[in-house]
Amino acid sequence: MIQIHTLANHAPIALHIKRNTQRNIIIRARDASSLNLSIPKWFSPAQLQNWLRDNEATLIRILQQAPAALAGQPETLPPSILFTGEPYALRPAPVAQIERCDRQRLFRLPQQSNPAEQRDLLRQHLFQAAHAALLPKLAAHSQRLQLIPAAISLTRAKTFWGVCRARTGIKLNWRLICAPASVQDYVCIHELCHLRHPNHSRAFWQLVRQHHPQSPAAQAWLKQHGKTLFSLG
């Protein structure tokens, strides 16, 4: 059985669950965003959810330790990807570099490149687009809320959408460039609010909803579509 589980930071992971007669729970990484989970056959869905919540730090640690070799990518690219929440087709074309055509909602890929090279070029293009769009957005929200991080940057992490640390500042996952603007806004505000409340207390969530009333819709979008943002790895 495959189950999509959403971490507290709204990052989705795939759980490949197998039930057995043992009393222990066994976890192994499949790659940086999915786990093999062997659980007792008598475990109820509620017990499983409670266990996942209580052991989230362990899940993240195992995901982060997944060997890079496990994270191999398919030989072919998907027919389309999301960009700012909209589906964009991927089309080979006689071009020297990635070209984004917003009116047609498509990316033109160098047809002389193999799929692995096209994937790398597309990831690089999206990372640059994220740098140009997400960091100014975060800076604007920071000024508006008067919550100023030590620094802002992007991350290639596969286990969270954003992270806030007092010393190192806020890092946003570059893949958020593929999400709608309202979802990008939500993650920015979520991380900025951690500067005042470094937890997920009631006061923290009240502050998030005060500055982003549509946060439940953004959370629902990430839960439903977050996995697709990792289609390029």
All structural domains of the chain, each given as residue ranges with its CATH number in brackets, are 2-71 (no CATH), 80-230 (3.30.2010.10)
92's tokens: 């080979």
Task: Give CA–CA dist 177/129, Å, rounded.
Answer: 7
**Candidate ranges 54-68, 157-171, 210-224; pick with highest mean pLDDT:** 210-224
Model pLDDT, residue 1: 66
pLDDT of residue 211: 97
Rounded to whole angstroms, the Cα distance separating 107 from 98 reads: 7
pLDDT band at 16 (very low <50, low <70, confident <90, very high): confident
Read off the pLDDT of each residue in 149-166 and give the average, rounded to a whole number: 91
Residues 96-127 pLDDT 10s: 899 999 999 999 999 998 888 999 999 999 99
Which of 82-91, 107-116, 126-135 bottoms out in mean pLDDT, i.e. has the lowest?
107-116
Q: Please name which of 136, 133, 145 lies closest in space to residue 176, comparing C-alpha atoms.
A: 133
Q: Up-side HSE of residue 12: CA atoms within 13 Å toward CB?
A: 18
The pLDDT of residue 70 is 43
3 versus 182: the higher-pLDDT residue is: 182
pLDDT at 88: 96
Axis crossing angle, helix 181-193 with helix 115-145, rounded to the nearest 10: 60
Task: Retrieve residue 16's tokens.
Answer: 């490949």
Overall pTM surpassing 0.85 (yes/no): no
pLDDT for position 181: 97
